[in-house]
C-alpha cells in the first residue's frame, strides 16, 4: 500500500518549505503540483486573486468550505489580522490529517480551526461551536453541487451580514452552474467574475465574488 497524493504533497512541503514560513509552503505546493503531480489546489494564479479579495475584506471571521491539503487555508490565514479566525471544513479524515500538518508547518495553527464533517451538518453549528455571529468572508471550494445549498444555508442560519463576501472557486471548470445562476440573479447579492485559469493549466476557470447586501 503506497502513499497517497496528499501524503506526497505533504512530504514535498516538509522537504522544501521552511517551518513557520507560509510563503515557502505555498511555493513548495505550487512547485510540486506544476512539476510533479497536479492536485486540486486553487493554485498560484487564482490564489493571487484570492489574496487580493482577502486583503480587501480583511476578515475577523472567515470560513473555508473544502480544506483538502490546506493550500488555500494557508493562503487565507497568512493574510488574517491578529485575533481573527479562519474556520475550515473538511469531510475526508485523510485529507484533514494532511491539512493539519501543512497548516502546522506554515505556523498558522493558532489562526485556523479545522473541523471534520459535512458542511451541511456543520454550518448550522457554527454559532454554538465557535460563537460566530457572522462570517465576513467565505471561500467555497468543496463539492461543486454543495455551493448553492450551502450558500442558502448560510443565509438561513443568519451567518451572513450586509457586506459579507462569498468567493467561489471553479465556477467555470469543473463549473457550478446552479450556484452561478442563483447568485447572479439574486437581488440579495452583487456579483463579479474574475477570469483566470484552472490551477497549473491553460484551461479557463475563474472565481465569482459575491457581496451579500443584507
Ligand X SMILES: O=C(NC/C=C/[C@H]1O[C@@H](n2ccc(=O)cc2)[C@H](O)[C@@H]1O)c1cc([N+](=O)[O-])cc(O)c1O
β-sheet bridge partners, residue 62: 86, 137
C-alpha cell at 173: 471548470
144 is catalytic: yes
Q: Can you list the pairs that 31-39 forms with residues at least 24 positions away whose Cβ atoms lie under 8 Å?
A: 32/8, 33/9, 33/199, 33/200, 34/200, 36/8, 36/12, 37/5, 37/8, 37/9, 38/199, 38/200, 38/201, 39/5, 39/6, 39/9, 39/68, 39/69
169 is catalytic: yes
Please state, in angstroms and rounded to a whole number, the distance separating the CA atoms of residues 156 and 21: 38
Catalytic, out of 30, 90, 199, 208: 199
Task: Give me the 75-114 binding string for ligand X, x by CB under 6 A, dash otherwise.
Answer: --------------xxxx--x-------------------
150 is catalytic: no
Contacts to Mg ion by CB under 5 A: 141, 169-170
Interaction residues for ligand X, span 108-167 (CB under 6 A) = 118-119, 141-143, 146
Task: Give me the 181-200 binding string for ligand X, x by CB under 6 A, dash otherwise.
Answer: -----------------xx-
C-alpha cell at 138: 467565505
C-alpha cell at 105: 508547518
Rounded to the nearest whole angstrom, what is the least distance from the CB of residue 82 to ligand X in the complex?
A: 27
Which residues form the interface with ligand X (CB under 6 A)?
40, 65-66, 68, 89-92, 95, 118-119, 141-143, 146, 169-170, 173-174, 198-199
Enzyme catalytic residues? 141, 144, 169-170, 199
Amino acid at each position: 500500500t503506497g502513499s497517497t497524493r496528499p501524503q506526497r504533497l505533504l512530504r514535498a512541503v516538509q522537504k522544501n518549505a521552511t517551518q513557520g514560513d507560509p510563503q515557502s509552503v505555498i511555493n513548495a505546493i505550487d512547485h510540486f503540483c506544476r512539476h510533479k503531480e497536479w492536485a486540486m489546489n486553487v493554485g498560484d494564479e487564482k490564489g493571487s486573486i484570492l489574496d487580493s479579495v482577502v486583503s480587501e475584506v480583511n476578515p475577523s471571521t472567515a470560513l473555508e468550505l473544502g480544506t483538502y491539503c490546506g493550500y488555500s487555508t494557508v493562503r487565507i490565514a497568512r493574510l488574517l489580522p491578529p485575533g481573527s479566525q479562519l474556520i475550515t471544513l473538511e469531510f475526508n479524515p485523510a485529507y484533514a490529517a494532511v491539512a493539519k500538518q501543512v497548516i502546522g508547518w506554515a505556523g498558522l495553527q493558532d489562526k485556523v480551526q479545522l473541523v471534520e464533517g459535512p458542511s451541511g451538518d456543520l454550518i448550522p453549528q457554527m454559532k454554538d461551536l465557535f460563537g460566530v455571529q457572522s462570517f465576513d468572508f467565505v471561500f467555497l471550494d468543496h463539492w461543486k453541487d454543495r455551493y448553492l445549498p450551502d450558500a442558502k444555508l448560510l443565509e438561513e442560519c443568519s451567518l451572513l451580514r450586509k457586506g459579507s463576501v462569498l468567493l467561489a472557486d471553479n465556477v467555470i471548470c469543473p463549473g457550478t452552474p446552479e450556484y452561478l445562476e442563483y447568485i447572479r440573479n439574486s437581488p440579495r447579492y452583487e456579483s463579479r467574475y474574475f477570469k483566470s485559469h484552472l490551477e497549473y493549466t491553460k484551461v479557463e476557470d475563474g472565481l465569482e465574488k459575491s457581496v451579500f447586501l443584507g
